[in-house]
């Protein structure tokens, strides 16, 4: 194997662990729910899902699950999830304890 390719693979492995380097601007997925398969998309901070719950509440279990999977790779402007707020609170609590 070419030595420069080995370096690229090592860099890719490091990047793969540093997920804050990645920010999804758009995505489109099919999500197999318990009752049906739904289409979920993100474009310029706007989520869409074709499930009934989304029609009323502009979020749903499908979007929340994708946010949980992708974590900080979803831009803050697109965060709809309580998971993100909980993570920030956990970080603040940790930082407070560290100072004290």
Site residues, Zn ion (CB under 5 A): 38, 49, 51, 54, 60, 62
Q: How far is the CB of 31 from Zn ion (least distance, A)?
A: 7
Q: How far is the CB of 46 from Zn ion (least distance, A)?
A: 14
Q: How far is the CB of 60 from Zn ion (least distance, A)?
A: 3
Nearer Cβ to Zn ion, position 42 or 62? Answer: 62
CA-wise closest residue to 38 among 18, 10, 14, 59: 59
**Cα-to-chain-centroid distance, residue 20:** 10
* Distance of alpha carbon 8 from alpha carbon 78, whole angstroms: 31
């Amino acid at each position: 194997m070419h030595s420069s390719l080995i370096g690229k693979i090592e860099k890719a492995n490091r990047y793969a662990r540093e997920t804050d380097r990645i920010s999804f601007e758009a995505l489109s997925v099919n999500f197999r729910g318990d009752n049906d398969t739904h289409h979920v998309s993100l474009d310029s901070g706007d989520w869409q899902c074709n499930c009934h719950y989304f029609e009323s509440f502009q979020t749903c279990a499908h979007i929340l699950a994708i946010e949980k999977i992708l974590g900080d790779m979803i831009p803050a402007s697109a965060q709809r999830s309580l998971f993100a707020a909980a993570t920030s609170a956990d970080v603040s609590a940790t930082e407070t304890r560290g100072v004290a």
